[in-house]
Structure 1
Amino acid sequence: MAKYSEKSQEKVQEAMHEMKEGKLKTGTGKKVTNPKQAVAIGLSEAREEGAKVPKKK
């Protein structure tokens, strides 16, 4: 199992929290309702900041 850094875990936690509040948006501006999509957005943001995140499949 791949290990995730603390920074990436925080990003995913923030994304999930935003999704539950209804504030998380996709790139096109639509509201995110799927938890898997929220996790993907959190990991993507962490990857952009240089956090240790496994490669995309």
Structure 2
Amino acid sequence: FPGVPKIETDKSVFENGDALLEEIKHFVDCIQSGNTPDVSGEAGRRALATAIEITKLLH
């Protein structure tokens, strides 16, 4: 349609599993091995704040 921007879509495939459990395992492994986690504490804090705000909006 003229004047209407084209909408692009992308289909993603995700494995079934427990994402939170995998994050916790990765974090514990980093503590034990001394490696740096894939996600920083600040990024985790921002993600948590976002999730809390979404939860508030839903209730």
Fold in common (TM above 0.5): no
Per the normalisation by structure 1, the TM-score is 0.33
TM-score (norm 2): 0.32
Q: If you compute each CA radius of gyration, which structure gives the higher value, 1 or 2?
A: 2
RCO greater where, 1 or 2, for CA within 8 Å and sep 6 or more? 1
